[in-house]
Amino acid sequence: MYSCIVIDDEELARLLLKSYIEKCDFLELKASFSNPIEALSALKSNEIDLVFLDIQMPDLKGTDFAKIVPSSAKIIFTTAYSEYALDGFELNALDYLLKPITFQRFLKAVHKIESKYKIGDTEFITIKSGYNLHKVKLTDILYIQSDSEYVVFYMRDKKIMSYQTLKSLEDSLPQSLFMRVHRSYIINKKEVSSLVGKDVIINKVKIPVSVRYFDTVKKQLFP
């Protein structure tokens, strides 16, 4: 369960986000605020995982507020102004939602927070599949394949399908362990046993390597 707050000076915008959050069983709304200054105390006294943050607000702009948000809290900017998108991503925001926000676009954004978190020194990924959440060790993943609007995570003993894009997933995975080898595949580099022609072999499965990635694969995995 991820705790979140909403900061927006428009009441209708706050109510819309509240209704979306209530539809997601992995999100918990702690509070909503019309003024970012009022939200500071909530961030100091509670462990907040996710902040839905409007940009154009009186007293303090969302982009300025984001600079004082604890690093443990992820930010999803919400705004009616597309010109702020670059500022949002430069502040390492989880996503940038342009109003009016659809529920489908909202879901795509919040799923990103589930992509990765740490427990002790072991890295995990939380995979949402339908209404279920699966906590999987990153090192247990052999490879990931795109399937239309879904991706499939392959482990030795099971596979899990999740609604997200391979591109968004690639950005959240540690490059020390994973690499893109094809427009449809991301692999666990430590699980590669050999390179046969234009394919890498993982657990006796052939994974195609495209021309774009072939030299990088050879250089990194077979120096």
Give CB contacts under 8 A, 24+ apart, made by 35-39.
Answer: 35/7, 35/9, 35/59, 36/7, 36/60, 36/62, 36/65, 39/5, 39/7, 39/65
* In the predicted structure, residue 77 carries a pLDDT above the cut 60: yes
Question: Would you state the pLDDT for residue 117?
Answer: 47
Burial class of 187 by CB neighbour count within 10 A (0 to 12, 13 to 18, 19+): buried
Find the distance separating the first CA and the last CA of the chain, reported in whole Å: 43
> How far apart, in Å, are the Cα atoms of 10 and each of 55, 124, 128, 220?
11, 37, 31, 50
Residue carrying structure tokens 């948000």: 69
More confident residue, 210 or 79: 210
Q: What is the pLDDT of residue 87?
A: 56
Find the range with the poorest average confidence among 31-40, 78-87, 92-101, 123-132: 78-87
Domains with residue ranges and CATH for the chain? 2-113 (3.40.50.2300), 139-221 (2.40.50.1020)
| Whole-prediction pTM | 0.53
- What pLDDT is recorded for position 12? 95
